[in-house]
Amino acid sequence: MLKIKDLHAGIDDKEILRGIDLEIKPGEVHAIMGPNGSGKSTLSSVIAGNETYEVLEGDILLDNQSILELAPDQRAHKGIFMSFQYPIEIPGVTTTNFIKTAINAKRKAQGLEDLPAKDMLQMIREKSELLEMDRKFLSRSLNEGFSGGEKKRNEIFQMAMLEPKLAILDETDSGLDIDALKIVANGVNKLKTKDNAVIVITHYQRLLDYIVPDFVHVLHDGKIVKSGGKELAHELEDKGYDWLK
Amino acid sequence: MKQLQEKLLASFLAFENKGNIDLDSKVHEIRTQAIEAFEKKGFPTKKDEEWKYTSLNSILNTDYSIFPKNDASIDLKDVKQYFLHEIESYKIVFIDGIYSSFLSDTTHEGADICLLSAALKKPKYKMIIDHYFDTITSKDDSLTSLNTAFSKEGAFINIPKNTVVEKPIQIIFFSTGSEKEMMLNPRNLIIVGENSHVQVYERHQSLNGSVILTNCVLEIFAHKRAIVDYYKVQNDRENASIIDNTYVQQKQNSIVSVNTFTFGGKLTRNNIEVYHEGENITSNLNGITIIGNKQHVDNHTLINHKFENCESHELYKGIYDDSATGVFNGKVIVDQKAQKTNAFQQNDNVLIGDKASINAKPQLEIFADDVKCSHGCTIGQLDESALFYLQSRGIPKKEAKALMLFAFGNDVVEKIKIPALKTRITKLIAEKLDVELGFEM
């Protein structure tokens, strides 16, 4: 599904990713771990198409087609979704209206009519229940005044609504208490099918107790320095990152 | 500029003689004084403190016609879009400065919603007009004086006490381009009696690309506990300019809101001055400006708190694209006597165009010691990380920008109390931002 080939990327002449190779197949869950500053968030931003970063070398292929030339919204239309580490607050735009606009933009790109309001509401109801969300959040301005946990839950709610092919969860566990973590993880697991894939980017092993990965990759200094199964996460938890340097 | 001034002075006598109008009324005397005041001061220049950031040079070197030659007529179907046609309303409509009875819908039942020239001819109304006319305007503002000198036509709205005007009133000025270059001096007078309530929608619209300069003056008198909601929609063509002077006097417990939506026009200058004459008054001034190209908008406000326990709220938002320029000058004066005043002013701006600029100047003059006054001003650009966030959800960049800009202006839109107008403004904003979005926030 996703193939990353010798990816070099950076910001303002500073190279952050220094040759990443990664292949993700449908149905798989990959965890990317690593210390602060190793390039984890850069990797997710580059896959999602953040124009702040410049790709210097290599390629990213989705279903065997390069996506490097695509704008973030076009990548979203192709099924890429990124849950932000720090979701942006947008005063004046309600969560409901935002998600409606997003879904209909995607449908428009696919040549479909707007989703009828009735179906939209039905879908919003189902997905918000899945995330055990208080419905009042949906009519509030997007993320404005939300707690860290509420923001993250809102991210997964958006993911549930958009039904992506590839979901990247960037430090979704940061700022979450254990109850919120379970709800979010549970939501992700319920959305998992044999046709979609998830990249979990995390600093700690904690989240991986709930979203169990098929593969764990350790990122250090812009390169994947070790890959393995889920047991690698436990090993990192015990030993830290230093032994891999 | 000098030439236009000469022409205006020369035209004054012709104007007075031509009209066969009210030579016995006080208004005639006021006009004569006004033309003298204008002659003395001339047009304002950038040397005047209040005109530091707005130059009139680009619109005053034009040989404007002062008197429209013929009665142009227009078809309702061609101009329907400029009315709030979805709802029932009173209408006072002028074409090239001349009243159009065909397009208007006036009344004398329960309230007088009619035109100034006709009212001046009836003794009953003449007394009222003599009592109010030109009593709260600035005598230092030469453009107001100029308007006063040529004032003859405009809306006259007189709401007696204890009256809720059920339908909004639309005051619309069309210009048809019957003259290649035309200057209009419409004059509106609105008196709202005790406990009465009225909603007014005002628009100046040119129907083709001819050069128009509108120098408009509005006086609003709000008596005790009166409620006035006033909406100005400025979305004119690129050769049309307006200098819009609004003077408001409020008696105790009255609430007056003036909302200004500026989406187009070559040069737009709004002067709004509010004077308190009683306690427990509320004044609300709100505005959204969305302009581009080389358009210029200048919002000048003055609120004078003169009595205790009054409040004022100002919220102005501006979005400037291309090389557009803006000015916000908000003056709040709190007299020594006006204790327990709450005065809040906020002016937020987004510059989208690389060459766009805004001059913002809050001016608070506070002589009382027990007051709550604040002002804030922000000038920013669209947040790139927020744009990426919206795009990453599948919303294309143009729509994402529009959504953010709409959200930015939304709290002003939310203040519109006529639902049909709110829908209209929302549509105009989407049009202005060049997107097809519902924006149901």
Strand-by-strand arrangement of the B169-175 sheet = B98-99, B90-95, B169-175, B197-206, B227-235, B255-264, B282-291, B311-320, B342-351, B372-380
pLDDT in tens, B31-72: 999 999 999 999 999 999 999 999 999 999 999 998 877 667
- Report the predicted TM-score, pTM, of the whole model to 2 decimal places: 0.89
Tokens of B50: 């209040």
* Residues B164, B212: Cα–Cα separation, whole Å: 35
User: A141-142 and A90-94 as β-strands: parallel, antiparallel, unpaired?
Assistant: antiparallel
Nearest-CB residue to B407 (from A91, A105, A162): A91
pLDDT in tens, B180-221: 899 999 999 999 999 999 999 999 999 988 999 999 999 999
Interface contacts (A, B; CB < 8 Å):
84
Contact A46, A7 (CB under 8 A): yes
Beta carbons of A76 and B393 less than 8 Å apart: yes
Beta carbons of A94 and B399 less than 8 Å apart: no
Q: Which amino acid is at B397?
A: K
Residue ranges of chain B whose CB lies within 8 Å of a chain A CB: 383-386, 388-397, 399-400, 403-404, 406-408, 410-411, 437, 439-441
Does any CB of chain B come closer than 8 Å to the CB of residue A139?
Answer: no
* Residues B377, B327: Cα–Cα separation, whole Å: 12
Q: Which amino acid is at B95?
A: I
- Which residue of B391, B401, B408, B433 to mutate against A (max A Cβ within 10 Å)? B391
The domain limits of chain A are: 2-40+49-180+190-198+212-244
Nearest-CB residue to A88 (from B389, B394, B403): B389
The domain made up of A2-40+49-180+190-198+212-244 is a member of CATH 3.40.50.300: yes
Give the gap in angstroms from C-alpha B288 to the nearest C-alpha of chain A. Answer: 15
pLDDT in tens, A206-233: 889 899 999 999 999 999 999 999 888 8
- The chain A residue lying nearest B386, using CA atoms, is A88
Would you give per-residue pLDDT tens digits along chain B (441 residues)?
788 999 999 888 888 776 655 666 788 889 999 999 999 999 999 999 999 999 999 999 999 998 877 667 788 888 999 999 999 999 999 999 999 999 999 999 999 999 998 998 888 998 999 999 999 999 999 999 999 999 889 999 999 999 999 999 999 999 998 888 999 999 999 999 999 999 999 999 999 889 999 999 999 999 999 999 999 999 999 999 999 999 999 999 999 999 999 998 999 999 999 999 999 999 999 999 999 999 999 999 999 999 999 999 999 999 999 999 999 999 999 999 999 999 999 999 999 999 999 999 999 999 999 999 999 999 999 988 999 999 999 999 999 999 899 989 989 999 999 999 999 999 999 999 988 765 554
What is the DSSP secondary-structure string of B218-255? EEEEE-TT-EEEEEEEEE--TTEEEEEEEEEEEETT-E
Does any CB of chain B come closer than 8 Å to the CB of residue A105?
Answer: yes
Give the gap in angstroms from C-alpha A207 to the nearest C-alpha of chain B. Answer: 23
pLDDT in tens, A132-151: 888 888 888 899 888 888 89
**What was the pLDDT predicted at B19?**
60
* ipTM of the prediction: 0.94
